[in-house]
Chain A
Amino acid sequence: MSIAIGSTDTNETDGTTTHTLTTTGLEVGDLMIAFIGQLNSLTAASRSGWTEVDTLSDTDFLGTNDGVHTCLAKIADSGDVSSGSFDFTLGGNQEAMGLLFRLTSSESGFNISSLIVHDSDFVAAASSTATFSGGVTPVAVNAFMILAVFTHDDSNAISGYDIVTSDPTWTERTDRGYVPVSSGFRQAIATGVRSAATATGNYAVTTTQDKNIFGILVAINEVVDVAVSGSVGTLNAVGNVGGVTAGANITGSVGTLNLTGNVGTNTQEDSKWSNTDKSSAPSWTNTDKT
């Protein structure tokens, strides 16, 4: 996952009511985030359809002159893509400096209300280090951090971008002065990717002059969708065969009972025959009837 800068535009204006910033290569869903500082105004820069992320003003920004530092953001739609140019309304005919980033997401885009956290502070007569109190806690790891300052005096060069806890590696995107009036003013902005999602604590920059300075710290996370493919849980239903003591699973033999008809034994005596009349033609008699 990563957020990248697609384009950067800066502008300086004097004595106009609008401040124009542009993008290149803008696509629907990109995040546009602008930082605009104004001299002699306490009214935040604005534009219809854009969200005011943060703004801070002070009546003694440049001597006794007012100043205001504002961050605005919008997720690009088709109309924005067609235009690519954006006029921001200032607090009047003011002197102003602005920067507009076009940010891209490698994930599922941006959500201004839930994924941008921010803090701002004003330090009067900052010496070599301007330390801004507060800080932010990013919504998630790998937040895209922007530290933007708007300071009195165009020669107050800025460096040493820093946050107290888990300081990322900063890349300076602009550090330029503008002198529409005496002594002028300066805008400096750096970005970095912070791996930790813990509170940053205070944030700071190194200055070259002891001047009043506005600071805005922004942490941006992108929308990350997750698609989980489920597993299947299998329960094995087991029927355990019972144990049988003595004679388990015996296939019985066939017991055959043979019925036998035994023939009886017949015992018989010889007959006693006699010729009782002694005739030559005897008539034989069985005398015992056997």
Chain B
Amino acid sequence: MAAEILFVNPYKKKLFDGTIDLANDTIKAMLLTASHSTDIDAHEFADDISANEVSTSGSYTAGFGGRVSLTITNSQDDTDDEGVADLTDFNITNFTGSPAFIAYIKEVTDDTDSPILAIEDLNGAQTSTAGTWSYTTNTEGLFNIA
């Protein structure tokens, strides 16, 4: 299965509600093990998927308040006629673990009210051993609306 990003349906609704501001809200990357299986209908909040979050290691701290804080910049792409949410690349240092998915979430007050935006399938576990786990954003950005 190729790597892909699946938007969960509750987030699609929230686009119309206008309740998530990618550039200004606390958007985080939550790393999940290969035991995770995405359900775009049912996965709405972080606590729906937190059972399969990777363990704390190196600069990654599992659980609400930890994880990886993301910097997202919104722009307009007139060439491709898209709205673009671009993500600054990020690293996790001295990390031992095997993330197979990244959940993009907005942290609010705890995992029960922190909505999931989308879940990226990394096409299998990407195992780091006491090393640097680095993520390079696609040249087209993280999210596009076409």
- A residues with CB within 8 A of B: 107-108, 111, 114-115, 139-140, 221-237
Contacts and interface: CB of A to CB of B under 8 A. Distances in A.
Interface of B: 3-7, 12, 15, 82, 87, 94, 96, 118, 120-122, 126-138, 140-146
* B interface, over-half SS: strand
Contacts of B142: 230, 232-233
A228 B133 contact: yes
Nearest to B2: A231
Contacts of B121: 231
B132 to A, nearest CB: 5
A109 to B, nearest CB: 9
A89 B146 CA distance: 70
Q: Which interface residue of A107, A108, A111, A229 has the most chain B CB atoms within 10 A? A: A229
A115 B57 CA distance: 13
A230 B128 contact: no
Given A108-B131, A114-B94, A226-B133, A232 B5 contact: yes
A225 B120 contact: no
Contact of B129 (A115, A227, A229, A233): A115
Q: Which 10 A-B pairs have the closest CB atoms?
A: A233-B5, A225-B131, A224-B129, A232-B138, A226-B128, A232-B140, A234-B144, A223-B131, A140-B129, A235-B145
Given A139-B130, A140-B96, 8 more contacts: A224-B129, A224-B130, A225-B132, A226-B133, A231-B120, A231-B138, A233-B118, A234-B143
B130 A233 contact: no
A108 B7 CA distance: 35
A147 B5 CA distance: 46
